[in-house]
Amino acid sequence: MTTTPPEPDQTSSPDQPSRAVPLVTKPSPPAAAPPAAAPPQSGRFRVPTLARHLGVAVLAAVVLAIATTMIGDYRDYELAEIAAFVVAVAGLTVLIGLSGQISIGNGAFMAVGGYAAALLFVHLQWPLAAILLAATAAAALAGAIFGVAAARLRGPYLAGATLMLAVALPALSTQFQSVLGGDQGLGFYISVPGFLGINFSLSRWQAWFNCAVALLVLILLANLTRSRVGRNWRALRDDEVAASLAGLNVARLQIVAFIVSAACAGAGGVLLAVWIGTVSTSLFALGVSIQLLTAAVLGGLGSLVGAIWGSALLVIVPTFLANFATSHGMTQTTSSSVPILAYGVVLIAVMVGFPGGIQGALVRFFNLRRRRPADYHQEEKGST
Amino acid sequence: MVEFLNFTLEGLSAGMIYAAIGLSLVLIWRGTRVLNYAQGAMAMFTSYLALLVINATGNYWLGFAVALASGLVIGAVVERVVIRQVTGKPPLNAVIVSIGLLIGIEGLAGLLFGSNNRSFPPAYSINGLSIGSVALGITWNDVFTAVAVLAAAGVFAVVFRYTTVGLRLRATAFSPAVARLLGVRVGRMLTLGWALAGLLGALAGMLVTPSTFLSPNSMDVIFVLGFTAAVIGGLESPAGAVAGGLILGVVLSYAGGYLNSQVVNLFGLAALLLVLMLRPNGLFSSAPARRV
């Protein structure tokens, strides 16, 4: 399947010697040794998956915490936006790249999360973390409902149904204007918690909060994709009939994938709402769903690291492009079309030219044996 | 009673548009197994071209001809240049590429024509018709819409049924490999199928735009409703797409008329999901066939 980044060397069987990987970094264990008999003394030490993920996350958290104090308010603000998108894009890339389903309506689930958060803020004044959990649960519930319907749909049908979802759902906010605020949306105000002191900037607090959530979500997803569930997803992505013959419950796996993706989108929606301080229909219009798709495709479908690349570019490049266009004599309304055109070109060019996206290209370029989720099971299969 | 009649007529008139979009999707789907999400965007673009010509020359029908011709060309170019690259790859790639086309064309239109709403001239009067003193909910333009779509559908039916080209197109859709063995230039037929679909989409764009305004994403909603119409008809059947469009138009017109105009899109979503869950092969499919 092309939705996976190209991984020619890893699909080969373990005894095939054609791996273009330096043996120093990852020597293969003796072919005869059973997995239990390949402890560290065989020259190969593998940090437990969870510990490795946590280690990387802690390192990233430290780097980010230091960085936020140095890059200034505006960059903090941008970082918070990137983190919000990382959460939503990571969910989508798992859905498309691992379970083989597609959604062009994840903006709708972001809207569910965002609006739920706004309502909880306005009416109940819950603490931020509790709101995040509750709103994510609400989005997951919406994903479950839609997922049950979607599990019967394939490729183009599913894409069409989710597209319809993205187009139709904003009408709810005008339908229930008194609760959801119609076109104006709902505004709310968050403040820096007291223990950080009064000189702590709001942008930095937003960056901290959003990055913390993003790291947490990435850890959870990284573990999930390497679990039995993740392997089953890949199995059904590659061949649904074979997967179901092997005893997998295809419909349930697809619904679970949809729920995970909707929950991530919902959490991303909460972060985006907190970041802006308001929710409105225009914030979660069809364009957002397309942005998520573009970021996931650009980063490399199925790759969590790719989700980070994609989200970062998604936030940084459009502003840059629009500014560039404005400074070259275009009007504001015209220059806002430049990023949209760019999304389209990127989607086509990546799918035609580099189906692996940025992460796939990086891996191929450096020929690194990165342990991307998509490869991991094959790698493990290879070493046993 | 008059109200009911009017809602029905309005629904049929709107349904004609969904039918035209649905028909163009079916044409492409049968030929290339690609669902062209950019169909609405292509129609939007050709409507812009028509508007340019109309504004420049003051002649509506010249603009109409330009729209249809450019639809033909754009359809062919898109198939040759973009879609051909992803045929034979997993269906997901084609889905993503055609979504890319959708966004790309919308961005290009915004760049070239600006993203504000433009009004668009109708072919005929948009004053309501009346029988005696009873005002009807339709206009001469609606009548023209219905006639144009039905005529186009009729022409397509005749071409597909009775001409050699039509036979080749059907053979290509039915089995490309066998068609190729029998001497059909399959590639050309695919391009032709896309071109004809582009023409139909352009027609739908010309017909619907007077009532929606023209902006880069003015066709989004029309497209998803046309998609719904095609799905109701089963995606395989041209007649089903037309019937699906009319059914959808009438149902949405009742929903909008008796309930609230805001809920129309939600009703469309509900209709799509209902059909997909209950009759995934469309309302008119006889025997469920499993495609592996």
Query: What are the sequence ranges of the domains in chain B?
Result: 2-117+142-278
- What pLDDT, on a 0 to 100 scale, did the predictor assign at position B42? 92
Please report the pLDDT score of residue A15 as a whole number.
40
- Tally of CA atoms within 13 A in the half-sphere of B123 that contains its CB: 22
pLDDT band at A333 (very low <50, low <70, confident <90, very high): low
Tell me if A343 and B107 make a contact (CB, 8 A cut-off): yes
A104 contact B CB<8A:
yes
183-222 of A, contacting B, C-beta below 8 A: none
- Triad A77, A192, A117: Cα angle to 5°: 80
Give bridge partners of residue B139 from the DSSP assignment.
B128
Tokens representing A43?
């020259």
One DSSP character per residue, B163-214 reads SHHHHHHHHHHH-HHHHHHTT--HHHHHHHHHHHHHHHHHHHHHHHHHHH-B
Structure confidence at residue B45 as a pLDDT band (50, 70, 90)? very high
Instruction: Return the SS3 of A245.
Output: helix
Q: How far is A357 from chain B (nearest CA, A)?
A: 13
Mean pLDDT over residues A223-250, rounded? 87
Whether A353 contacts A294, CB under 8 Å: no
What pLDDT is attached to residue A58?
81
CB A275 within 8 A of CB A347: no
Under 8 Å CB pairs connecting chains A and B tally to 162
Distance from C-alpha of B55 to C-alpha of B116, rounded to nearest angstrom:
17
B46 contact partners, CB below 8 Å, separation of at least 6: B66, B67, B68, B70, B71, B74, B198, B201, B202, B205, B206
Per-residue model confidence (pLDDT) at position A11: 39
What is d(CA B184, CA B34) in angstroms, rounded to the nearest whole number? 20
pLDDT in tens, A157-211: 788 888 888 887 777 777 777 777 766 777 777 777 767 666 677 778 888 888 8
Per-residue pLDDT band at A374 (split at 50, 70, 90): low
**What pLDDT does A198 receive?**
67
Chain A hits for B115, Cβ within 8 Å:
333-334, 336-337
Q: Mean pLDDT of all residues in chain A?
A: 76
Q: Does A168 touch chain B (CB under 8 A)?
A: yes
* Cβ pair A110, A265 in contact under 8 A: yes
pLDDT band at B286 (very low <50, low <70, confident <90, very high): low
Integer Cα distance of A107 and A288 in angstroms: 6
> A134 vs A114, A130, A149, A186, A270, CA distance in Å?
11, 6, 23, 18, 10
Give the chain B residue nearest A146 (alpha carbons): B273
Distance CA B219, CA A230 (A): 38
CA distance B44 to B105: 9
pLDDT(A63) > 60: yes
- Rounded CA-CA distance B66/B49 in Å is 7
Give the phi and the psi of residue A150 in degrees, each rounded to 5: -75, -25
The pair of three-digit structure tokens given for residue A19, joined into one six-digit string: 């791996």
CA–CA dist A232, A260 (Å, integer): 14
Which of B92, B101, B269 comes nearest A165 by C-beta?
A: B269
- DSSP states along A288-346: HHHHHHHHHHHH-TT-HHHHHHHHHHHHHHHHHHHHHHHHTT--HHHHTHHHHHHHHHH
Instruction: Determine whether the interchain pair B106/A340 forms a contact, defined as Cβ–Cβ distance below 8 Å.
Output: yes
Q: Is A384 a residue whose pLDDT tops 50? A: no
Cβ atoms within 10 Å of A128's Cβ, excluding its own: 17
pLDDT value for A36: 44
Opening angle at CA B94, ends B88 and B97, nearest 5: 135
Torsion of CA B171, B175, B177, B178, to 10 degrees: -60
Tens-place pLDDT, residues A84-128: 899 999 999 999 888 888 888 888 899 889 888 888 888 887 888
What pTM, to 2 d.p., does this model score? Answer: 0.80
Q: Which of A330-334, B155-159, B167-171 has the lowest mean pLDDT?
A: A330-334
Size of chain A in residues: 384
For the domain covering B2-117+142-278, report its CATH number. 1.10.3470
Query: Model confidence over A11-45: pLDDT tens digits?
Result: 334 444 433 333 333 344 444 444 444 444 445 66
Q: Predicted confidence band at A369 (pLDDT cuts at 50, 70, 90)?
A: low
Kindly state the average pLDDT of the residues A369-380: 48
Q: B59 phi and psi, to 5 degrees? A: -105, 110
CB < 8 Å to B111, chain A: 334, 337-338, 341
What pLDDT score does A89 carry? 92
